[in-house]
Chains A and B, each alone.
Chain A
Amino acid sequence: MSARYVSGKVLGSLATLLFVIAFNFFLFRVVEGDPVANLFRGRNLSQSQRAALTKQFGLDGSTGEQFVRYVQQTAQFNLGRTYTNNQPVASEIWDKAGPTIALVGVSTLLSTIFGVMLGIAAAWRRRTKTDYAVTSFTMTTYAMPDFWLGMLLLTAFAVELGWFPVGGIVDPNSDATGLAKVADQAKHMFLPALTLTLAYLGEYALVMRSSLLETMREDYLVLARAKGLRDALVRKRHAVPNALLPVITLISINFGFVLSGAIAVEAIFSWPGLGLATYDALQGPDLPMLQGLFLVFSAAVIAANLFADLLYGYLDPRVRTS
């Protein structure tokens, strides 16, 4: 992988990030109108109060000056203050990133493992009952809105059977610490994680299946069989590693959507992460919070895309040497 390839990709990502920042600025600044007037509608504001508020929201000066200041502040991780509780947006987001990363991280990991396994099973036994079962299952989970699946699981396992809590991240009445607290959190995480795992699984299974089907037509697999290698060995040593490449790309790209992927599902299970924060910010709407969330979500995708490009450059010899 040449330095030119790496620097090209890094510069491209930075340009994209700058585009997103500019887009974010103009989207909220131009369309919003006068936020001070909107926010304090119907209340008497003296000229000096109005001027102070305008300054506080960073709305004084020309659009150009505001934009430069916005870029500078963003570079220093200053994303303004929320309308609802007047807290710094950056620290609000930071507090809520943890639960989301935990929930979506676990779900991504599980869905990758099970999705790849299902994909292999379906491709290896294609046109059998296994294949049809896997394909119909993945098509069905793909066609469901993820939060609706969450509602169904919540009804069945939390409301009807009472096996799991209906929402939140910890039991508010328990003062458990240490291992007991972790167990309590795991219990709270089970249903949202199951929902997201089922929702993500289909894509991995389908990509793995079609990639393996493609690989199975290659000459070197015919040769491996002709050598008399056992079926399981051909699959494990020769077919699967090569077929995994597109799945790895998919995983690293999807990783960028980790932060923003669970908005509606978090709302259903009241999981206190960035998704629920987005849901709450929409009710206001709390525009600075939405703006900050949008920037963080986009930055995550850009970073993941860069990572996927670099990883691909490393893994695929055709990209590595060119």
Chain B
Amino acid sequence: MSAVAAPSARRITWLRRRRALGSGWREYRRNTPGMVGLVLLVLIVLMAIAAPLLADPAGLHAVNTVNNPAWANPAKFHPLGTDHLGRSVMTQVIWGARISLLVGLAATVLAMLIGSVVGITAGFFGGWTESILMRLTEWFLVIPFLPLAIVLAAILGPSIQNIILVIGITSWPFPARLIRAQVLTMKERLYVDRSRALGASEWHLMTRHILPNVSGLIIANTTLTVPVAILSETTLSFLGLGDPSRASWGKMLQESFEAGALTQQAWWYYVPPGVGILLVVLAFTLCGQALEEVLDPRLRDRRE
């Protein structure tokens, strides 16, 4: 960069953001549980992405597995045995990761989108807009989550879009309340007043000043909502409300239960998907808590 030319405002902002990101990452790296979670998460996501290389999807359909033994234990059929239809458990675990992650992520994005819009609008505009939106949020918080999800899924019918929709529209109230609280403290800051005095529009204030300042909270909260969404998917699938044509880890648990794996003592059928859920939920939770601590230094002595 030449010494005379003053860097543009855009460039200053960009440099500042990169520096903030760098220092955030240094802070995150020092958080051991957060790093464990991140490594775990990367491994699981890689497995889900590489599913076509790891296992032939034809093995998911019972038509193609008639020659395999049913209920074969891992010693007889590598690496994780077969189910009641002779399908390899390993193949199902690998492909199931895709559906579980997809539903968890998509539902969370939907929930955070609704939650952010409601939270920011309510916090920023105040008045009757806020009263109505927060009353709605309170109502949704009171309705028990699982029964509501069950009723919605039962009425809409089982499909992957519907399960994403159901988890999304039952998970937004909590982030909405959190984001509103943050916006309320943000809009009292001096730089907002200054910007308003300089003639900034409401839209400019909302997108340029409020949104960037709550984005950290939104990201940390997203990371902590994904595991909840994945657990919800598991329970809904177990109750028979998942997509019947696609294997998720929750669906595997349902099929193993219905096929009588418990009495067959076929532990290799229902232990692996459960371990998968356990690990992915743990990974997201560890990452989310680490992110929270990076963004909010007051939380750092929480685990000390």
Which of A's residues lie within 8 Å of B, judged by CB? 16, 19-20, 23, 27-28, 31-32, 126-127, 135, 139-140, 142-145, 147-148, 151-152, 154-155, 159-160, 166, 210, 213, 256-257, 260-261, 263-264, 267-268, 278-279, 282-283, 285, 287, 290-291, 293-294, 297-298, 300-302, 305
The residue in chain B whose Cβ has the minimal distance to the Cβ of A213 is B302
19 contacts between A and B (CB under 8 A): A16-B142, A140-B282, A142-B285, A143-B278, A143-B279, A143-B282, A145-B274, A147-B238, A148-B270, A151-B253, A260-B147, A261-B146, A267-B238, A267-B239, A282-B239, A283-B240, A291-B151, A294-B147, A301-B144
Q: Is B281 engaged at the interface, CB distance under 8 Å to the other chain?
A: yes
Most chain A Cβ neighbours within 10 Å, of B144, B250, B253 = B144
Across the interface, A155 reaches (CB within 8 A) one of B142, B253, B262, namely: B262
Across the interface, B143 reaches (CB within 8 A) one of A20, A126, A135, namely: A20
Question: Do A126 and B304 have beta carbons less than 8 Å apart?
Answer: yes
Q: Is B277 engaged at the interface, CB distance under 8 Å to the other chain?
A: yes
Most chain B Cβ neighbours within 10 Å, of A32, A263, A287 = A263
Question: Do A301 and B265 have beta carbons less than 8 Å apart?
Answer: no
Q: Is B138 engaged at the interface, CB distance under 8 Å to the other chain?
A: yes
Question: Do A19 and B274 have beta carbons less than 8 Å apart?
Answer: no
Question: Do A268 and B142 have beta carbons less than 8 Å apart?
Answer: no
Question: Do B263 and A145 have beta carbons less than 8 Å apart?
Answer: no
Most chain B Cβ neighbours within 10 Å, of A145, A152, A285, A294 = A145
Alpha-carbon gap, A126 to B147, bound state (A): 38
Given the contacts A260-B147, A279-B239, A282-B150, A27 and B155 also touching, CB distance less than 8 Å: yes
Q: B230-263 toward A: CB 8 Å interface, digit per residue (1/0)?
A: 0100110011110000000010010001000011
Closest chain-A Cβ to B59's Cβ sits at a distance in Å of 23
Q: Is B54 engaged at the interface, CB distance under 8 Å to the other chain?
A: no
Across the interface, B144 reaches (CB within 8 A) one of A140, A257, A282, namely: A257
Alpha-carbon gap, A53 to B161, bound state (A): 34
Given the contacts A143-B285, A148-B253, A152-B271, A256 and B144 also touching, CB distance less than 8 Å: yes
Q: Is B12 engaged at the interface, CB distance under 8 Å to the other chain?
A: no
Closest chain-B Cβ to A248's Cβ sits at a distance in Å of 19
Contacts of B271 in A (CB 8 A): 152
The residue in chain A whose Cβ has the minimal distance to the Cβ of B279 is A143
